[in-house]
């Protein structure tokens, strides 16, 4: 699978030379010659050199289509240049591609087969985070982020999926679901939720992260973990809607 249409080339420019060590000729030219790198996916990169030549490089195999590599079997300046750009974060490493955060313009690298929506570190949700419900402007506290998608999680009391629930119709059905509680219930970072607490389930894109960096409880560092490693929420409550009437839809398209 290639994603070259989504992933931009690095700007055609020369890179600075490290001051602290001597480089051989190929490594020096890999840096100072203007080259643009276009990731094609599957560890393939297209590289345009200063002489308007374009070569194809497979980084996993460390092979290039240029004469220096083909005829001299050298680790050519193109392979070296791409390795440098990967190390410096200018282009994604093999197996990853560049995407844009759903909630801001930040570019991030994700696995090639990872489904969206994508979020930068600032907008990634963790248990304990405060979020804004875009439909009601309510603030809630996240208790869990699941990998299960809104069209596959059923709201028992409503007889439909999270995606088909009335107030969620503006959101994509194939986004992950997030479990959240209304405030005044403090949720520990380890995700422990009191039995009495009612957890509402939302499509991920309906919620927007609110930064509460001034609050001491929001600045615990070192204990953050990716939601992917978390077990899924067992709660199947429905999202609350204050402003809209409840429409319990019974389309046959509702998935179970």
Among 61, 104, 197, 220, binds Zn ion (CB under 5 A): 104
Among 44, 101, 110, 185, binds Zn ion (CB under 5 A): 101
Q: HEC states along 74-111?
A: CCCHHHHHHHHHHHCCCCCCCCEEEEECCCCCCEEEEE
What tokens were used for 14? 């020369």
Q: Give the shortest CB-107-to-Zn ion separation in angstroms.
A: 10
Residue matched to tokens 């020096």: 28
* CB of residue 189 to Zn ion, shortest distance in Å: 21
What is the DSSP-derived secondary structure letter of residue 191? -
Q: Does 106 bind Zn ion (CB under 5 A)?
A: yes
Terminal-residue alpha carbon distance, the chain: 30
**Per CB under 5 A, which region of 37-45, 116-124, 148-156, 185-193 contacts Zn ion?**
116-124
Indicate whether 61 belongs to the interface with Zn ion (CB under 5 A).
no
Residue 73 CB: number of other CB atoms within 10 A? 9
Of the ranges 14-22, 118-126, 152-160, 167-175, which one interacts with Zn ion (CB under 5 A)? 118-126
Q: Which region holds residue 159: left if phi is over 0, alpha if psi is between -120 and 50, else beta?
A: left
Binding of Zn ion by 120 (CB under 5 A): yes
Among 64, 153, 163, 201, binds Zn ion (CB under 5 A): 64
- Residue ranges that bind Zn ion, judged by CB under 5 A: 64, 66, 69, 76, 78, 101, 103-104, 106, 120, 123
């Amino acid at each position: 699978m290639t994603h070259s249409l989504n992933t931009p080339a690095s700007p055609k420019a020369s890179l600075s030379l490290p001051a602290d060590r001597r480089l051989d000729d190929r490594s020096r030219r890999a840096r100072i010659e203007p080259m643009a790198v276009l990731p094609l996916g599957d560890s393939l990169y297209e590289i345009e050199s200063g002489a308007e030549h374009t070569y194809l490089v497979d980084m996993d195999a460390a092979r290039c289509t240029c004469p220096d590599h083909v005829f001299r079997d050298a680790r050519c300046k193109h392979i070296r240049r791409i390795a440098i750009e990967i190390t410096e974060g200018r282009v994604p490493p093999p197996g990853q591609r560049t995407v844009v955060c759903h909630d801001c313009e930040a570019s991030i690298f994700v696995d090639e087969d990872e489904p969206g929506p994508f979020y930068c570190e600032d907008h990634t949700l963790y248990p304990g985070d405060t979020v804004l419900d875009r439909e009601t402007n309510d603030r809630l506290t996240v208790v869990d982020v699941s990998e299960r998608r809104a069209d596959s999680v059923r709201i028992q009391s409503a007889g439909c999926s999270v995606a088909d629930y009335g107030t969620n119709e503006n959101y994509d059905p194939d986004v992950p679901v997030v479990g959240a509680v209304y405030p005044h219930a403090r949720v520990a970072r380890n995700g422990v939720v009191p039995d009495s607490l009612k957890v509402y389930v939302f499509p991920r894109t309906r919620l927007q992260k609110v930064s509460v960096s001034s609050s001491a409880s929001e600045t615990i560092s070192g204990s953050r973990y990716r939601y992917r490693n978390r077990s899924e929420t067992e709660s199947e409550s429905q999202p609350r809607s204050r402003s809209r009437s409840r429409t319990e839809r019974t389309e046959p398209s509702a998935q179970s």
